[in-house]
Amino acid sequence: MLGLMFFVSFLLVGLQMAADLYWQSQMRLVAFDAARVAAEAGGSQGQGNVLVAGLLGQHARTAWTSSPDEVRLTLTAPRSRLLVAPWRSGEHTVAVTVHREGFRLRAAP
């Protein structure tokens, strides 16, 4: 019985770690997609915020920084809670920078 409890506890810890790694991966993907969409829209964050809210829910928070050459998104969301994990409580934060490139017209001399 003790061996079975030991096995099940390690199985549950492994499951929580796998779920947390999956959640972190999904957050990176959503952050990159939202920053790319905002960069394509000329730095407008509206479509990026809609994408984040649609894929991660209303608990995700975004902080945008935009310049003529880049768009930076810092995304913060609660960690996955598959099991009770006191060592992994709190939030996960991802920062993504997307550089905007394109042709620029030179001013006539």
Neighbours of 73 (CB within 10 A): 27
Predicted local confidence at residue 86, as pLDDT:
57
Domain residue limits, the chain:
20-99
pTM of the model: 0.75
Predicted local confidence at residue 91, as pLDDT:
81
Sorting pLDDT into bands at 50, 70 and 90, what band is 32? very high
Predicted local confidence at residue 89, as pLDDT:
63
Predicted local confidence at residue 73, as pLDDT:
92
Please name the residues in contact with 74: beta carbons below 8 A apart, sequence gap of 6 or more: 62, 63, 64, 65, 93, 94, 95
Predicted local confidence at residue 6, as pLDDT:
92
Q: Give me the chain's average pLDDT, please.
A: 83
